[in-house]
C-alpha cells in the first residue's frame, strides 16, 4: 500500500496531497515529527547520511521524494495529462521552491522567537514543564533554520508572488498554463505562508500566526482571491 510521510501544515506536503487526491491515488498518510521522526524515516529510506526531508512517498515500485516527484508520480498513475505538462511545470515549480524556501526561513525564525509556538511544537505535557523544555525546543528549531538557511533569499517569497501575478495576467485564463494543473497547485502553496487556509492542521494557533504574513496579505489580495477560486479543484472526485 502506498504511504505518504509528511507534515500536514507544510506547503510541500499540501502540494503533494493535492496532486495525489486530484489524481485519485489511494495512500495512507503518516505525520512526520522533525528530529524525533528522523531515525525511523532514515531507516525506511535506508539513508544514513545527508539530509532527509518530507514529503516522501513509499510505493510498491520504490520511493518517490519531494512534492514535484510525487505529483509527477500521481500523474503517471492517473495515466493522463490532468496535471499538465511537467516539462513546462518545472519552470513554475522552481519559482515556487525559491519563494517557499524564503517563507520557511521567515516562519522558522518567527517560531524560534515565540514561546507559545515553541510549546506547541512539543507533545502535550503538564504546563509547568513547558518553560523548562523551551531551550531544547528552541535549539531544535534553530537547527532546522540552519538546515535550510542556504536556500534563503530576502524578498524571494514576494518575488515569487509577483511572478505568479504576472503569469496569471499573461495567461488570461485564471490558470498559469491555460487550464488547471500542477503549476497552479505549486504556486498556490506560496499563499500558505501569506494567509494559511482555515483547514490547515497546525499544532496550534501560535503556529498559524507565525505562518501568516500581513504585509504580503495586504499586497496580494488578488492572489488570495485566485486561491479561493481554485477550491473546486481540490476535491478527490474533481474531473475537469
Ligand atoms: N523540495 C522539497 C522540499 C521539502 C521540504 O523542504 N521539506 C521540509 C518541510 S518544512 C521538511 O522536511 N522539514 C522537516 C525537516 O527537515 O526535518 C519538496 O518539494 O518536497
Express each pLDDT in 155-204 by its tens digit: 999 999 999 999 999 999 999 999 999 999 999 999 999 999 999 999 99
239 domain residue, yes or no: no
Q: How many domains does the chain have?
A: 2
Express each pLDDT in 206-217 by its tens digit: 999 999 999 999
Provide the pLDDT for residue 126: 78
Angle, CA 105 vertex, CA 58 and CA 191 arms, to 5°: 75
Same domain membership, residue 40 and residue 15: yes
Nearest CA to ligand 1 atom 1: 66
Give the model's confidence band at 238: pLDDT under 50 very low, under 70 low, under 90 confident, else very high. very low
Provide the pLDDT for residue 17: 98
Task: Give the helix, strand, coil percentages of the chain, each rounded to 5.
Answer: 60, 5, 35
Instruction: Give the Å distance between the CA of 173 and the centre of ligand 1.
Output: 31
Same domain membership, residue 69 and residue 172: no
- Look at the block and give the residue holding cell 519563494: 99
Domain span including residue 40:
3-78
Strands 56-59 vs 62-65: parallel, antiparallel or unpaired: antiparallel
Whether the per-residue pLDDT at 95 is higher than 90: the answer is yes
Same domain membership, residue 168 and residue 50: no
Provide the pLDDT for residue 122: 84
Instruction: State the closest ligand 1 atom to the C-alpha of 35, by its place in the atom list counted from 1.
Output: 17
163 domain residue, yes or no: yes
* Residue ending a domain, choose from 46, 78, 110: 78
Nearest CA to ligand 1 atom 13: 53
Spell out which residues line ligand 1, taking CB within 6 angstroms: 7, 10, 12, 34, 53-55, 66-68, 97, 104, 147
DSSP run (H or E) holding 92: helix 86-112
* Residue ending a domain, choose from 16, 46, 78: 78
Q: How far is CA 125 from CA 26, 77, 175, 201, 208, in A?
A: 35, 42, 45, 20, 20
Give the model's confidence band at 239: pLDDT under 50 very low, under 70 low, under 90 confident, else very high. very low
Same domain membership, residue 101 and residue 69: no
Nearest CA to ligand 1 atom 17: 34
- Percent of the chain scored above 90 by pLDDT? 91
Same domain membership, residue 222 and residue 126: yes
Provide the pLDDT for residue 236: 56
Mutate to test the pocket of ligand 1, among 9, 12, 72, 139 (most ligand atoms within 8 A of CB): 12
The CA distance from 65 to 74, in Å, is: 12
What's the pTM value of the predicted model, to 2 decimals?
0.95
Provide the pLDDT for residue 89: 98
Same domain membership, residue 156 and residue 111: yes
- What length is written for the chain? 240
Amino acid at each position: 500500500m502506498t504511504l505518504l510521510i509528511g507534515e500536514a501544515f507544510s506547503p510541500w506536503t499540501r502540494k503533494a496531497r493535492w496532486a495525489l487526491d486530484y489524481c485519485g491515488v489511494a495512500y495512507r498518510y503518516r505525520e512526520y515529527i522533525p528530529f524525533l521522526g528522523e531515525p525511523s524515516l532514515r531507516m525506511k529510506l535506508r539513508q544514513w547520511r545527508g539530509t532527509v526531508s518530507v514529503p516522501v512517498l513509499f510505493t510498491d515500485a520504490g520511493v518517490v521524494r519531494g512534492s514535484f516527484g510525487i505529483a509527477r508520480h500521481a500523474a503517471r498513475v492517473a495515466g493522463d495529462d490532468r496535471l499538465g505538462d511537467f516539462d513546462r511545470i518545472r519552470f513554475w515549480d522552481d519559482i515556487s521552491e525559491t519563494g517557499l524556501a524564503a517563507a520557511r526561513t521567515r516562519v522558522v525564525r518567527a517560531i524560534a522567537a515565540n514561546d507559545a509556538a515553541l510549546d506547541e511544537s512539543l507533545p502535550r505535557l503538564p504546563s509547568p514543564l513547558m518553560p523548562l523544555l523551551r531551550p531544547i525546543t528552541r535549539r531544535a528549531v534553530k537547527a532546522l533554520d540552519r538546515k535550510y538557511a542556504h536556500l534563503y533569499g530576502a524578498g524571494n517569497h514576494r518575488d515569487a508572488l509577483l511572478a505568479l501575478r504576472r503569469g496569471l495576467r499573461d495567461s488570461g485564463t485564471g490558470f498559469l498554463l491555460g487550464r488547471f494543473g500542477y503549476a497552479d497547485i505549486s504556486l498556490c502553496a506560496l499563499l500558505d505562508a501569506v494567509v494559511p487556509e482555515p483547514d490547515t492542521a497546525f499544532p496550534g494557533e501560535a503556529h498559524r500566526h507565525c505562518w501568516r504574513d500581513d504585509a504580503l496579505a495586504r499586497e496580494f489580495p488578488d492572489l488570495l482571491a485566485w486561491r479561493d477560486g481554485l477550491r473546486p479543484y481540490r476535491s478527490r472526485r474533481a474531473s475537469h
